[in-house]
């Protein structure tokens, strides 16, 4: 049996990247500064005391890391790159959480992991006109890494629209079968690559991988039974419908007219109409949830609408339903409070996406014989 591939998981949250990497990988170091996420990690991984560090990544010394890991995974905080955030970006200075992680890679030098995965929101590709993505690629290049990016929407695997960018960097020459066309070379990825200066373009890898099988579940299939959840009052549902624009109200009426049970996901958003900011509730009936977020405000928590027999009911997504939308197993231990559970979930990475990356790219890349081993 092949040895387990070792990895570091920075900004680990509840350990969702670890779950996705699977049994072929052994975690030798993980960290997160959030006490709730740290407690969730410990609750789900009995070996956490041996390798988990709770605290700021800037407080970690290089000698705290187990030597010579094969992989480093970093899902650094996304606020600087999110379309909804302040977008300070990498160019804003080296005090960001990302650079707290990256200084450790730099300090490890030749003992740094052969492969690094950096996961973030798609705003990373365009932040500051692409300057931040260029800065990231330059940092990777200075440490001897070649790199490429994939934009993967979790909707290919689980009924949640959750597009994310995965930058895969390696010091190894990838085998030919891992390079080529991919459905995840989106326009945003291609344009980000085209903005790179020539010396960074030369280090670009067009990562490939077999296209995932068609998803066979929809949002309705992951929900709790109607009798097991708390529904909003009729007055609350009417108030939600009143926030909808005519186009979204039409979707509700069309669902009622169909005579079928239909499940929709609703987000509250601020829109500009006639020069004024207006709060709107927007519904989708395409079988997908919108992107789960951390519940920092009332508009961040996703609402469900169920239309059946001419009746419209509404309720909030439950933590367990959120966990299913992230591809977490039923045995995954969530914080008891709904807000805490959704905080952990909303900041995580979709497990099936990581599993695909591990099976299609990371394991084949890391299992190939090195030049030194072949001699």
Q: What is the set of active-site residues?
A: 78
Residue 106 tokens, joined: 């730099």
CA-to-CA dists, residue 203 to 117, 193, 222, 231, 341, angstroms: 16, 10, 42, 53, 40
C-alpha span between 71 and 27 (Å, rounded): 10
Closest CA to 147 of 212, 216, 200: 200
Check: CB of residue 167 under 8 Å from CB of residue 147.
Answer: yes
């Amino acid at each position: 049996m092949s040895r387990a591939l070792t990895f570091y998981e920075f900004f680990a949250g509840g350990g969702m990247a670890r779950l996705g990497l699977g049994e072929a990988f052994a975690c030798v170091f993980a960290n997160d500064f959030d006490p709730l996420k740290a407690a969730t990690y410990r609750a789900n991984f009995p070996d956490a005391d041996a390798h988990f560090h709770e605290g700021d990544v800037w407080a970690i010394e290089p000698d705290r890391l187990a030597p010579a890991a094969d992989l480093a995974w970093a899902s650094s905080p996304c606020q600087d790159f999110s379309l909804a955030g302040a977008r300070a970006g990498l160019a804003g200075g080296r005090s960001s959480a990302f650079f707290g992680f990256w200084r450790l890679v730099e300090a490890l030098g030749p003992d740094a992991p052969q492969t690094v995965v950096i996961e973030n929101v798609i705003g990373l590709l365009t932040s500051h006109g692409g300057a931040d993505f260029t800065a990231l690629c330059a940092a990777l290049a200075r440490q001897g890494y070649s790199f490429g990016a994939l934009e993967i929407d979790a909707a290919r695997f689980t009924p949640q629209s959750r597009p994310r960018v995965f930058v895969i960097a390696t010091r190894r020459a990838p085998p030919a079968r891992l390079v080529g066309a991919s459905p995840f070379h989106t326009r945003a990825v291609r344009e980000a690559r085209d903005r790179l200066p020539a010396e960074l373009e030369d280090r670009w890898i067009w990562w490939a991988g077999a296209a995932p099988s068609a998803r066979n579940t929809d949002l309705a299939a992951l929900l709790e039974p109607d009798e097991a959840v708390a529904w909003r009052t009729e007055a609350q549902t009417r108030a939600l419908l009143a926030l909808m624009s005519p186009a979204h109200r039409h979707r509700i009426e069309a669902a009622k007219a169909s005579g079928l049970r239909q499940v929709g996901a609703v987000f509250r958003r601020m829109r500009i109409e006639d020069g004024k900011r207006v709060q709107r509730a927007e519904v989708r009936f395409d079988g997908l949830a919108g992107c789960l977020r951390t519940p920092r405000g009332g508009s961040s928590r996703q609402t469900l609408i169920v239309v059946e027999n001419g009746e419209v009911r509404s309720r909030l997504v439950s933590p367990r339903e959120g966990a299913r939308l992230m591809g977490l197993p039923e045995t995954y231990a969530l914080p008891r409070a709904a807000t805490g559970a959704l905080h952990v979930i909303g900041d995580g990475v979709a497990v099936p996406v990581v599993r695909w990356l591990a099976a299609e790219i990371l394991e084949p890349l890391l299992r190939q014989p090195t030049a030194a081993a072949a001699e």
